[in-house]
Structure 1
C-alpha cells in the first residue's frame, strides 16, 4: 500500500488530516513530518510514524520523504521565507521519489486583483512550481477558516456588536475539520491527480449576516456596525489585539467585503459526501456566555 506523509503534523490542519486519514487507512500507511517529533505524542499513541523535518533543511527533507508515495504539503507560516521552504519541499519530494503532492493554497479566483500579503503570491508560486515539477499534484484551495470569524469580529461581538469596515461581500467559510477530511479523501483515493478544488463552505455569509446569526442564536440584538478601516483597527486594539494582528485581520476583512471568497460552492460537499458545517452551526456550537470561543 502507498505510504502517505503529511507535513506540519503537529499543527492544526496537519494533525486533523492525519486523524481523518487514520479513519480510512491503517496507521502503518501514514507518516507525519514535524520539526519537533516530541510534540507528536498523540500521533505516536495512534501508531503513526513521525519523522523529523524542517522546510529550511533540504537534505533532511529528502531523508524524511524516502519511501513516500503521496505528500500533503501543508503551507508554511505567513511572514517567513515561504518560497524557499515550499521549493525545498517540492524539490526534495522529487529527489526522494514521491509521486503525488497535494497542496492547500488560499482560493484566488481567476482575474482577481486582490492579494493577501505574504500569502497569495507565494501560493501562486507553489502552484507554478508544482505544475513544472513533473510530479502529479492536486490543489485543494481553501477559503477563510470558519474558526477565524471570531478573530475578524472580536470575541466580544455579542456585547459590542459586529464592528467591521463597510462592505456587503460574502465568504464561503469552511471549518478546519471539514477541510482536513477533504484532504484525507483526496490523499486516500485515486483519481484526484491534476485536479483543482475550491473548498468553499455553503452558504456564504457577510458580516451583516454574521450579526444576524448571532442575534438569532443568542436571543438578543447584536448590531452590525460598519465603519472605517481605522475604526476597525481601533476597535480590535481596544479589545487587546496587537496592532499588527489587527492590520492582518483587516486585510482578510477587506477581501471578504470585496467578495474574494464568495465563489461557487460544491467541491467540498462533493468530496465529503455531505453538507459541510455552516457558519450558523459553528457559531451556535461555539457561543460561550458573552464571548465567542475560538476553536483551534
Structure 2
C-alpha cells in the first residue's frame, strides 16, 4: 500500500488523483487528522488512515501494512519534531520505502535566509538519509501557483511590487510536480535517489513582469521596495499576520537567490516537457 500524508492538501490531493490513474484505489491510502476531511476520498475507495504528526503512537498504528510512504513536508511550529515522529514510526513498523517532498535549493548561496524552512528541508533530508531507510527525496521548486499570491490577481493593471531585487527562482506547476511524484511512487528503481523537481530556467520577478508585458501587450512594472516598506504596505492592506510572515520569508529567500536552480529531473520523471512559465502566466492572468 502507498500512504500519502497531507492528503487533504493541494499537493497530496493531486498526487492521489494521479495515482488513481495508475492503480486501483485499494492500493492507496491518505493520512488525515480527522475523518471529516476524508469523506470525498473514501467515496473513491481510497483508504482512510487517521493520525497526527504530533502523536507518534497514532502514526505507528496508521502505518501498519504500508510499504511506501510519501511524507509531504509540514510547515507547522514544530516541523522537525513532526517529521521525526513520522520517520521514526515508519522505521519502527517496517515501512519499506519513504519518499519526502523537500525544497530545491541553490547550494552555492553563502549565507542562507531560509530560517525555519531549514527544518522543513535540509534537516529532515539528513534525518531520513541517516535513518538507514530506503528513501527518495523530491526537491521541489516553488509552485507556479504561488505567483498570484506574490503579485496579486490584477498584476497586468497594478504591476509587481515585491522586495525580491534581482533574485531568481525556479517554478513548476503543482500538477506537474504531483504527476512526477506519482510516477515515481507507482514505479520501481528509485531507491536512495534525490530528484530536483522544478522547471527551468529560473526567473526573477523583473523577468516575470517582462513576460507579462509581452503577453498582455501593455507595460507591467516591477518595483522592489525596501522590505520594511513592503511590510508596512502589507499591514495597511489588512493581510493576516501569517501571510505577512510567509511573504517576508519567501521574498527574502528569493532575493538571496536560494531558489535559483540550474539543473532539474522534472522532465525526465514526467516523460515530457513541464508546463512553461509563460504558458502558466498567460492562462492565469489573461484567460
> Structures share a fold, TM > 0.5?
yes
Question: Quick check: 1:136 aligned with 2:155?
Answer: no
Aligned to 2:80: 83
Residue 30 of structure 1 deviates from its aligned partner by 0.6
Matches within 5 A, 1:54-203: 54-78=52-76, 80-112=77-109, 113-165=111-163, 167-203=165-201
SS at match of 1:38: helix
- For residue 217 of structure 2, what is the aligned residue in structure 1? 219
Q: Which moved more, 1:241-250 or 1:36-45?
A: 241-250
Deviation (angstroms), 1:135: 0.9
Cα shift readout 1:183-228 (whole Å, capped 9, x = no counterpart): 1111111111111111121232111111122222333221112221
Give distance in 2, aligned partners of 1:213 and 1:145.
Answer: 18
Return the alpha-carbon distance in structure 2 between the equivalents of residues 37 and 23 of structure 1: 24
Where does residue 292 of structure 1 map in the other structure? none
CA RMSD of aligned residues (A): 1.8
The equivalent of 1:50 in structure 2 is: 48
For the residues of structure 2 that align with 1:241 and 1:160, how far apart are their CA atoms? 17
Check the 8 A contact 2:106/2:260 in 1, yes or no: no
Q: Deviations 1:102-158 (Å, cap 9, x if unpaired)? A: 001122333433132321234222112211212100110111111111222233422
1:181-260 alignment runs, 5 A limit: 181-260=179-258
Name which of 12, 18, 22 aligns with 1:14: 12
- Give the alignment partner of residue 269 of structure 1, picking from 267, 274, 285: 267
CA contact (8 A) 1:162 1:211 kept: yes
User: What's the CA shift for 1:288?
Assistant: 6.4
TM-score, normalised relative to structure 2? 0.93
| Corresponding residue SS for 2:141 | coil
Distance in structure 1 (CA, Å) of the matches to 2:9 and 2:264? 27
Q: Contact 2:172–2:198 (CA<8 Å) still a contact in 1?
A: yes
Residues 265-289 of structure 1: CA deviation (Å, up to 9, x unaligned): 3301110011112222112112268
The CA deviation at 1:247 is: 3.9
Q: Distance in 2 between matches of 1:220 and 1:42?
A: 43
Tell me the distance in 2 between the aligned counterparts of 1:128 and 1:265: 21
The gaps in structure 1 that reach 5 residues or longer are: 290-296
**TM-score normalized by structure 1?**
0.90
Distance 2:284 2:38 in 1: 26
User: 1:106·1:120 contact (CA, 8 Å) conserved in 2?
Assistant: no
